[in-house]
């Protein structure tokens, strides 16, 4: 790399640091201060830019076309439309900052591809039933009492399909969060630290009680913790292990679609919409901060 290129790249990095300091000075949220410079640096690295004057409508549109097909790193499917909008907002704000400071001027007028919202996998109600039936058919010969794992796997399905939880939310549910008198589940680890209560349907309630009374006391063994979901050796069940159990159920049920925790969440949302529940109620159920996030299910419903 030439000395000129090194100097140009150092100017870009210094500008990003100055932009971050500007965000802090204007008292933007910690999330914005953390994410915006990172989003911009990702674009600059992807586009192989060495000078901010190289930002133009062509490489900006190419970047957002790339984002529309980029795979999600932690779950099945592509990154969400809302996440892509976060990149757009970051670049747009960065453009305004550069213009105000007299460095560079560019506008982010890009078209976001709508098909990104149609890539979510949805299971039919019949396929959900197949998953529940699969809990009784584990092929592992080492497990003598298959009823223990069947009870736990039904509890997993209850959390992520019946209650529509995200992975992090379900992983952090504790036994004290279940109020069977009011048929409510307290979600303590919601997105952006937002707490909420989720209704527990009668069938899900029966599965939860059976798991707590019969399976969990045997699975937890001598360990002491309040985590609702417990592994075979008594430790709290982590997100990757929970996902693995659901994927095994999908294989046993011979469902020819990717089956994951978000698949269950998307499926219950779509099924609730099919049943006539209002979009505002579904938004509260899922813990969405805006109806825009929930409206994707109207598209999925139309496609189905």
End-to-end distance of the chain based on CA atoms, in angstroms?
A: 53
Looking at the DSSP assignment, which residues form a beta bridge with residue 248? none
> Which ranges constitute the DSSP H helices of the chain?
3-25, 30-47, 57-67, 81-100, 125-134, 146-157, 167-171, 202-210, 216-220, 239-252, 261-274, 279-286, 291-294, 296-303
Fill in the DSSP letter of residue 6: H
- Alpha-carbon distance of 96 to 86, in angstroms, equals 15
Cα-based distances in Å from 272 to 163, 164, 182, 302: 11, 11, 21, 14
- Alpha-carbon distance of 101 to 13, in angstroms, equals 16
- Residue 77 burial (CB count, 10 A): 16
Tokens 């078209």 sit on residue:
111
- Alpha-carbon distance of 9 to 3, in angstroms, equals 10
Residue 270 tokens, joined: 């779509």
Residue 216: name the closest of 242, 193, 237 by CA: 237
Q: Across the chain, which distance is largest between two alpha carbons, in Å?
A: 72
Asked if 116 and 78 touch (Cβ cutoff 8 Å), the reply is yes
Catalytic residue numbers read: 166, 191, 262, 265, 288, 297
Residue 41: name the closest of 13, 61, 7, 66 by CA: 13
- Containing H/E element for 198? strand 196-199
Residue 266 tokens, joined: 């998307």
């Amino acid at each position: 790399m030439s000395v000129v290129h090194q100097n140009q790249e150092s100017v870009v990095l210094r500008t990003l640091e100055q932009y971050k300091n500007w965000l802090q000075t204007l008292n933007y949220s910690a999330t914005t201060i953390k994410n915006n410079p990172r989003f911009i640096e990702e674009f600059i690295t992807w586009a192989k830019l060495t000078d901010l004057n190289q930002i133009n409508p062509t490489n900006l549109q190419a970047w957002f076309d790339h984002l529309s097909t980029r795979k999600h790193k932690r779950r099945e499917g592509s990154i969400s439309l809302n996440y892509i909008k976060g990149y757009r907002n970051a670049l747009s704000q960065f453009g305004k900052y550069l213009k105000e400071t007299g460095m560079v001027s560019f506008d982010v007028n890009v078209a976001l591809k709508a098909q990104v919202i149609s890539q979510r996998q949805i299971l039919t109600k019949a396929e959900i039933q197949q998953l529940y039936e699969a809990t009784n058919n584990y092929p592992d010969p080492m497990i003598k009492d298959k009823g223990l794992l069947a009870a736990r796997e039904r509890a997993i399905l209850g959390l992520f399909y019946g209650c529509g939880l995200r992975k992090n939310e379900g992983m952090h549910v504790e036994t004290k969060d279940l109020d069977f008198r009011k048929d409510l589940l307290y979600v303590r680890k919601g997105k952006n630290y937002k707490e909420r209560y989720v209704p527990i349907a009668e069938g899900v309630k029966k599965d939860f009680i059976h798991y707590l009374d019969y399976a969990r006391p045997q699975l937890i063994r001598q360990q002491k913790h309040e985590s609702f979901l417990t592994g075979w050796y008594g430790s709290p069940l982590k997100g990757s292990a929970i996902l693995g159990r659901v994927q095994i159920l999908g294989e046993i049920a011979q469902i020819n679609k990717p089956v994951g925790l978000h698949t269950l969440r998307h499926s219950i949302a779509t099924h609730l919409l099919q049943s006539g529940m209002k979009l505002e109620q579904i938004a509260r159920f899922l813990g969405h901060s805006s109806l825009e996030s929930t409206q994707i299910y109207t598209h999925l419903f139309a496609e189905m």
